């Protein structure tokens, strides 16, 4: 009787909010009360009954609770406030089980307990590391946030493995990071598989930090949209389909968004000869996608202009790539995917600034119409380019997009592109390489990345590299550097020839395009990085209008 009473009390104490997120490939936030058994949960229960694994009125619901490591060796680990509250509800049973089940829980590790409380079939205790670690100046990120993202992601995946379709997540002192960990950690692209991972609904446990939780859901959903677009095969995400997906996503966010899907004749009229020279090698029609988000109360306020490389498949063209791992080049539109997803998120967050997104979308294929090494093409601003390597096509499409970006009186231009293998060689997947002519813009990007954990590292834009692309036999510029070394830097130097604004940053995201196991809260696959850093940059620029 006493136990029953305690459980009843506990049930009342474990107040919960009604926000949940569905983890389909293109997740959407829905509002749903948790006090009733949802259709999915009921279905789940029946399924389990059929397997004979469980019976009776068991609710298949998970709960993730955080645990901080002890400060000193002989001290006990410390629950978060939600963990503490829950432990009290079960009369200290959770801490008792933790003690007898093994050594102190390490950072990013989990321990799972079943049948402790009638509301939750599984309790996953996740190790958060030391409390209040703060910003690590050598790692350039906030350690607390990273630890929470990782621990929550691992916990949520365990719940998913148990085919539990609903989980409540302890905010762990930073509800945004917890939401990001949950939603990023659960994402998997399985749209084209018959056997899919169970959809897990994630909800905040309690109501502490509900606004931050909602923000985290949106940030993570944004990154997942980029992952979805990048991971999807090139025969599914063509230029036309890419534009349609973004248009569809933006339809629901409000009337202050306009989408222009520019076709080939528009691109020709703009004299984007450099972009067209790449597109003409494929039968797939090019698109120039142009998005306007007017979040500022002043419609004429100079916009932040995002530009993204949108090569939906890159074979290399006549300078064809080796066939091993060529499939990964379906993600060569990562720049377009991340900047468009960042704008979708900025619009959902209703950030008070104006943003324009520009993405030249096409395929780079070899054919009788494709660019040949030595061909000379003319960009929108009249500059001629000798195409000595048809696989250096990203800079060709970006050249025209950057020229066009200048026509909007931009406050700043930020381009993102999976541009060079050399960037991956230089930094691997640790950080996006940033080449910028603006210390102020750099400072914003850098500070944004400390919060998101999706890091940036500044790279040089020296004249040294410019000389290696302007020394060209047939044209004003060569699309590859004179020497093999410093390929990411010569590519950036090439782009600089199409920029005259004082605040421009080029983000080479080739190294962070895919995740093997480096970022623990992302599964293996296309990473959608650095979408959250771009959103955070937009947030900063919306708050500090005088800074740039
Ligand atoms: Zn290429």
pTM: 0.91
How much is the pLDDT for 57? 60
* Torsion angle defined by CA atoms of residues 5, 11, 13 and 17, in that order, rounded to the nearest 10 degrees: -170
C-alpha–C-alpha distance, residues 140 and 447, integer Å:
9
Burial class of residue 301, CB neighbours in 10 A (0-12, 13-18, 19+): middle
User: What's the Cα-to-Cα distance from 87 to each of 84, 122, 300, 423, rounded to whole Å?
Assistant: 5, 14, 55, 48
How much is the pLDDT for 109? 96
How much is the pLDDT for 56? 56
- 70-104 CB burial, b ≥16 within 10 A, e <16: eeeeeeebbbbebbebbbbbbeeebbebbeeeeee
- Crossing angle of helices 239-251 and 210-231, in 10° steps, is 160
User: Known catalytic residues?
Assistant: 321, 395
Ramachandran region, residue 172 (left: φ > 0; alpha: ψ -120 to 50; beta: rest): left
| SS3 of residue 328 by DSSP | helix
Q: Is the peptide bond before 426 cis (omega within 30 degrees of 0)?
A: no
Domains of the chain, with CATH numbers? 2-208 (3.40.220.10), 256-543 (3.40.630.10)
| SS3 of residue 463 by DSSP | helix
Strands 19-21 and 29-31, sheet pairing: antiparallel
- Residue 202 sits at φ, ψ, to 5 deg, of -110, 140
Cβ neighbors of 130 (< 8 A, separation 6 or more) are: 68, 69, 71
Residue that has been written with the tokens 């916990």 in this structure: 155
Residue that has been written with the tokens 């993204």 in this structure: 308
Cβ neighbors of 289 (< 8 A, separation 6 or more) are: 242, 243, 246, 259, 260, 261, 262, 310, 336, 340, 357, 358, 359, 361
The answer to whether 98 touches 125, Cβ cutoff 8 Å, is yes
User: What are the helix (H) ranges across 410-462?
Assistant: 421-427, 439-452
C-alpha–C-alpha distance, residues 239 and 284, integer Å:
8
Strands (E) in 155-269, as ranges, are 166-169, 201-204, 257-262
pLDDT string in tens for the chain (548-residue length): 333 333 333 443 443 333 333 333 343 333 333 333 343 443 444 444 444 444 456 678 999 999 999 888 778 899 999 999 999 999 999 999 999 999 999 999 999 999 999 999 999 999 999 999 999 999 999 999 999 999 999 999 999 999 999 999 999 999 999 999 999 999 999 999 999 999 999 999 999 999 999 999 999 999 999 999 999 999 999 999 999 999 999 998 988 999 999 999 999 999 999 999 999 999 999 999 999 999 999 999 999 999 999 999 999 999 999 999 999 999 999 999 999 999 999 999 999 999 999 999 999 999 999 999 999 999 999 999 999 999 999 999 999 999 999 999 999 999 999 999 999 999 999 999 999 999 999 999 999 999 999 999 999 999 999 999 999 999 999 999 999 999 999 999 999 999 999 999 999 999 999 999 999 999 999 999 999 999 999 999 999 998 89
Ligand 1 centre to CA of 399 (Å) is: 14
Instruction: Return the bridge partners of 525, or none.
Output: 515
Closest CA to 18 of 200, 141, 201: 201
C-alpha–C-alpha distance, residues 117 and 2, integer Å:
14
Residue 36's Cβ-side half-sphere holds a number of Cα atoms within 13 Å equal to 4
How much is the pLDDT for 26? 45
Ligand 1 centre to CA of 364 (Å) is: 7
Ligand 1 centre to CA of 140 (Å) is: 31
C-alpha–C-alpha distance, residues 481 and 467, integer Å:
9
The answer to whether 124 touches 67, Cβ cutoff 8 Å, is no
Ligand 1 centre to CA of 420 (Å) is: 8
The answer to whether 248 touches 546, Cβ cutoff 8 Å, is no
User: What are the helix (H) ranges across 90-209?
Assistant: 93-100, 143-161, 175-186
Residue 148's Cβ-side half-sphere holds a number of Cα atoms within 13 Å equal to 29
| SS3 of residue 455 by DSSP | strand
Residue 260, number of CB atoms within 10 A of its CB: 14
C-alpha–C-alpha distance, residues 89 and 14, integer Å:
9
User: What are the helix (H) ranges across 234-305?
Assistant: 239-251, 264-269, 273-279
How much is the pLDDT for 58? 62
Ligand 1 centre to CA of 132 (Å) is: 44
How much is the pLDDT for 73? 77
Ligand 1 centre to CA of 492 (Å) is: 15
Q: Is the peptide bond before 251 cis (omega within 30 degrees of 0)?
A: no
How much is the pLDDT for 436? 98
Helix (H) or strand (E) holding 514: strand 514-515
Residue 128, number of CB atoms within 10 A of its CB: 29
C-alpha–C-alpha distance, residues 28 and 78, integer Å:
34
Cα 266 to chain centroid distance, Å, stands at 31
Ligand 1 centre to CA of 430 (Å) is: 22
How much is the pLDDT for 74? 76
Ligand 1 centre to CA of 335 (Å) is: 13
């Amino acid at each position: 009787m006493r136990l029953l009473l305690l459980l009843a009390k506990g049930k009342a104490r474990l107040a919960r909010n009604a926000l949940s997120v569905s983890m389909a490939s293109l997740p959407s936030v829905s509002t749903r009360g948790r006090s009733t058994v949802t259709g999915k949960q009921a279905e789940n229960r029946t399924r389990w009954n059929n397997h004979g694994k469980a019976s009776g009125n068991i609710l298949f619901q998970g709960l993730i609770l955080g645990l901080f490591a002890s400060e000193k060796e002989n001290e006990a680990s410390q629950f978060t406030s939600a963990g503490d509250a829950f432990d009290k509800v079960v009369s200290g049973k959770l801490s008792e089980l933790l003690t007898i089940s093994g050594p102190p829980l390490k950072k990013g590790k989990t321990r799972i307990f079943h049948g402790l409380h009638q509301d939750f079939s599984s309790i996953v205790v996740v190790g958060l590391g030391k409390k209040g670690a703060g910003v690590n100046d050598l790692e350039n990120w906030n350690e607390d946030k990273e630890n929470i993202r990782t621990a929550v992601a691992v916990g949520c995946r365990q719940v998913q493995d148990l085919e539990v379709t609903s989980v409540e997540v302890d905010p762990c002192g930073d509800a945004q990071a917890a939401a990001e960990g949950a939603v990023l950690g659960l994402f998997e692209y399985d749209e084209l598989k018959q056997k899919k991972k169970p959809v897990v609904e994630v909800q905040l446990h309690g109501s502490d930090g509900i606004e931050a939780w909602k923000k985290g859901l949106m940030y993570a959903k944004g990154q997942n949209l980029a992952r979805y677009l990048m991971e999807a095969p090139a025969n599914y995400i063509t230029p036309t389909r890419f534009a349609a997906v973004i248009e569809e996503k933006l339809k629901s966010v409000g009337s202050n968004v306009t989408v222009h899907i520019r076709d080939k004749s528009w691109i020709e009229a703009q004299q984007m000869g450099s972009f067209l020279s790449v597109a003409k090698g494929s039968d797939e029609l090019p698109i120039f996608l142009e998005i306007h988000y007017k979040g500022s109360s002043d419609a004429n306020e100079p916009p932040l202009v995002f530009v993204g490389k949108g090569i939906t498949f890159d074979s290399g063209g006549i300078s064809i790539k080796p066939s091993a791992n060529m499939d990964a080049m379906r993600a060569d539109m990562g720049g377009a995917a991340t900047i468009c997803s960042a704008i979708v998120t900025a619009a959902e967050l209703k950030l008070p600034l104006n943003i324009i997104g520009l993405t030249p979308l096409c395929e780079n294929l070899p054919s009788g119409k494709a660019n040949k090494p030595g061909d000379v093409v003319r960009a929108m601003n009249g500059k001629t380019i000798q195409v000595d390597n048809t696989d250096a096509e990203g800079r060709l499409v970006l050249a025209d997009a950057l020229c066009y970006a200048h026509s909007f009186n931009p406050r700043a231009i930020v381009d993102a592109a999976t541009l060079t293998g050399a960037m991956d060689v230089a930094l691997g997947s640790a950080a996006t390489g940033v080449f910028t002519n603006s210390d102020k813009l750099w400072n914003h990007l850098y500070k944004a990345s400390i919060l998101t954990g999706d890091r940036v590292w500044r790279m040089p834009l020296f004249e040294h590299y410019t000389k290696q692309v302007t020394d060209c036999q047939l044209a004003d510029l060569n699309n590859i550097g004179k020497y093999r070394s410093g390929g990411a830097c010569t590519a950036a130097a090439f782009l600089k020839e199409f920029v005259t604004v004082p605040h421009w940053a080029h983000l080479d995201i080739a190294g962070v395009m895919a995740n093997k196991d480096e970022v623990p809260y992302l599964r293996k696959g296309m990473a959608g990085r650095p979408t959250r850093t771009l959103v955070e940059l937009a947030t900063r620029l919306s708050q500090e209008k005088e800074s740039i």
